[in-house]
């Protein structure tokens, strides 16, 4: 059976040569809401969020693979995974993480990794995230009673807290309320 063409949002007046960027992510809300803020006629974003609580790198790439097998892609379309490094780069998760990245490269998928979490990327829209700030926020906790996962969670909490300070409030499940502009995206990229 032939694959379906990737669905374009025709309500936006998308021209025939519109490219689609499909992003499978481990997040439930933030990534989808972030990309929904940037709609253009020439590029459309389709985010495949985690809806079943399985946010492992393997589950993310499986979701992207399933989408790719169902829909035909055009030359200018892109397929991406978006994963937080947090605890996936440590301990028993390292092997799976590495295998998923290798599979992405072999299939030509783009890879976006936030280290330790997506809030780092969001914070970069509002301020310079330099080595001094990273050391301040990520400074290693020397407490041996914390697991790697607990330390990663603590670091993400610090980024969320700093983001809250910068924008006057932040809710992980309501990224759409962040006052983001195209110039801020360019600043974050730089």
Q: Per residue of the chain (190 residues), give pLDDT as tens.
A: 455 665 655 445 555 578 899 999 998 889 999 998 887 878 899 999 999 888 899 999 999 999 999 988 888 899 999 998 876 777 777 888 899 999 999 999 999 998 888 888 999 999 888 777 777 776 655 444 445 554 555 578 888 888 999 998 888 888 988 988 889 999 998 8
Could you give the CA distance from residue 173 to residue 10 in angstroms, rounded to a whole number? Answer: 27
Spatial neighbors of 7 by CB under 8 A, at least 6 apart, are 46, 71
Could you give the CA distance from residue 45 to residue 40 in angstroms, rounded to a whole number? Answer: 9
Q: Residue 158 in contact with residue 152, Cβ under 8 Å? A: no
Range of the domain at 135: 4-189
Based on C-alpha coordinates, what's the Rg of the chain?
18
Could you give the CA distance from residue 40 to residue 43 in angstroms, rounded to a whole number? Answer: 6
Amino acid 149: pLDDT: 52
Amino acid 48: pLDDT: 95
Domain count across the chain? 1
Residue 43 bridge partners (DSSP): 19
Q: Where does the chain show beta strands of DSSP type E?
A: 4-5, 19-25, 43-48, 71-72, 78-84, 110-114
Amino acid 10: pLDDT: 42
Q: 116 preceded by cis ω (within 30°)?
A: yes
Residue 23 bridge partners (DSSP): 47, 80
Amino acid 7: pLDDT: 62
The rounded Cα 171 to chain-centroid distance in angstroms is 16
Could you give the CA distance from residue 178 to residue 165 in angstroms, rounded to a whole number? Answer: 12
Could you give the CA distance from residue 70 to residue 83 in angstroms, rounded to a whole number? Answer: 22
């Amino acid at each position: 059976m032939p694959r379906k063409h990737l669905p374009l949002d025709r309500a936006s007046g998308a021209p025939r040569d519109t490219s689609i960027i499909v992003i499978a992510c481990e997040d439930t809300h933030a990534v989808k809401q972030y990309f929904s803020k940037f709609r253009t006629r020439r590029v459309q974003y389709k985010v495949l969020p985690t809806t079943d609580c399985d946010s492992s790198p393997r589950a993310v790439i499986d979701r992207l693979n399933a989408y790719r097998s169902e829909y035909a892609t055009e030359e200018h379309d892109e397929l991406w995974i978006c994963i937080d490094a947090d605890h996936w780069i440590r301990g028993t998760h390292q092997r799976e993480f590495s295998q998923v990245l290798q599979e992405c490269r072999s299939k030509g998928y783009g890879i976006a990794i936030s280290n330790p979490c997506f809030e780092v990327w969001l914070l970069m829209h509002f301020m310079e995230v330099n080595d001094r700030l990273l050391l301040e926020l990520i400074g290693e906790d020397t407490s041996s009673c914390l697991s790697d996962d607990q330390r990663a969670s603590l670091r993400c909490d610090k980024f969320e807290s700093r983001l809250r300070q910068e924008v006057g409030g932040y809710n992980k499940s309501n990224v759409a309320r962040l006052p983001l502009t195209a110039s801020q995206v360019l600043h974050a990229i730089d």
